[in-house]
Amino acid sequence: MKKEEATLKTTSTLIVIAREHFVQQGFFDVSLEKIAEEAAVTRGAVYHHFKSKKGLFTAVLECVQKNVAEHVLNEATKSDEPWQQLVLGCVGFVKGANAEENRRILLVDAPAVLGWEQWRKFDLDNSVKVMMEHLEELKNQGYLREDVDIKLMAYSISGATNELALNYKQYEGLDCDNRIAETILHFLNGFKSHLDCSRKEIKLLKNKPNCIVRGVVK
């Protein structure tokens, strides 16, 4: 096996194992020794590849962000209509971030471990950047009001969906998915160019075919 392949195999194994530990125990209670032992490497090997426990956590966080982004894309592309894609994508983020394998790492530990400035930059470089691209397309197609600032809208959506994600567990089991979707619709409609347009039903969740929300679409 080539050195590059061996390195990739080792780092991938460490990330998978570390993710399980971070999910179950949280960053501050995780032992690098136990992760190394389970991966059949030395503690020094962990430091060689990731420099520190924070470095390993950051690598795990990148995987979590990628998984959530894939979930958002899968939810958004259930519709071919650009405005519905935005709504479905926002709902998808809230649910994806709250998946058991993501919530503790993404919503609880990441801000504390990385610090506010680094965490904010991490978020901007990932979800916010992609969101601004989609919002730019929406504005070019006439979905948004002329006076909407794309960057500020993206920041607003990011802040709102992060808060909804953090508070999701409080409403779980209380028709949560529809309530989250309705809240997002009310929020997003403030940016829309035509609020008197026709209504259309949006099916939100693949695993809940009976979960329907009424959404304003163009």
Q: How confident is the model at residue 79 (pLDDT cuts 50, 70, 90)?
A: very high
Euclidean distance between CA atoms 164 and 157, whole angstroms: 10
Euclidean distance between CA atoms 103 and 4, whole angstroms: 32
How confident is the model at residue 1, as a pLDDT?
A: 61
- The answer to whether position 122 is within a domain reads yes
CATH number of the domain at 154, please: 1.10.357.10
- The answer to whether position 179 is within a domain reads yes
How confident is the model at residue 123, as a pLDDT?
A: 82
Number of structural domains the chain divides into:
2
* Residues 46 and 68 placed together within one structural domain of the fold: no
* Residues 131 and 200 placed together within one structural domain of the fold: yes
Using the predicted structure, report yes or no on whether residue 198 has a pLDDT greater than 70. no
Which carries the bigger pLDDT value, residue 198 or residue 149? 149
CATH number of the domain at 39, please: 1.10.10.60
Q: Which of 125, 121, 131 is nearest to 72 (CA)?
A: 131
- The answer to whether position 59 is within a domain reads no
Euclidean distance between CA atoms 110 and 60, whole angstroms: 10
Q: Which of 173, 57, 167 is nearest to 122 (CA)?
A: 57
* Residues 43 and 68 placed together within one structural domain of the fold: no
Q: How confident is the model at residue 3 (pLDDT cuts 50, 70, 90)?
A: confident
* Residues 126 and 205 placed together within one structural domain of the fold: yes
* Residues 142 and 46 placed together within one structural domain of the fold: no
* Residues 103 and 18 placed together within one structural domain of the fold: no
- Cβ(155)–Cβ(128) under 8 Å? yes
- The answer to whether position 58 is within a domain reads no
pTM strictly above 0.95 = no
Q: How confident is the model at residue 6 (pLDDT cuts 50, 70, 90)?
A: confident
Euclidean distance between CA atoms 210 and 204, whole angstroms: 9
**Which of helix, strand or coil describes residue 204?**
strand
* Residues 155 and 182 placed together within one structural domain of the fold: yes
Expressed as residue numbers, the domain containing 18 is: 1-51
> Mind listing the pLDDT tens digit for each residue in 7-20?
899 999 999 999 99
Euclidean distance between CA atoms 90 and 72, whole angstroms: 7
Residue type, 87: V
First to last CA, the chain: 56
Could you tell me the two tokens for 51? 């420099």
- The answer to whether position 56 is within a domain reads no
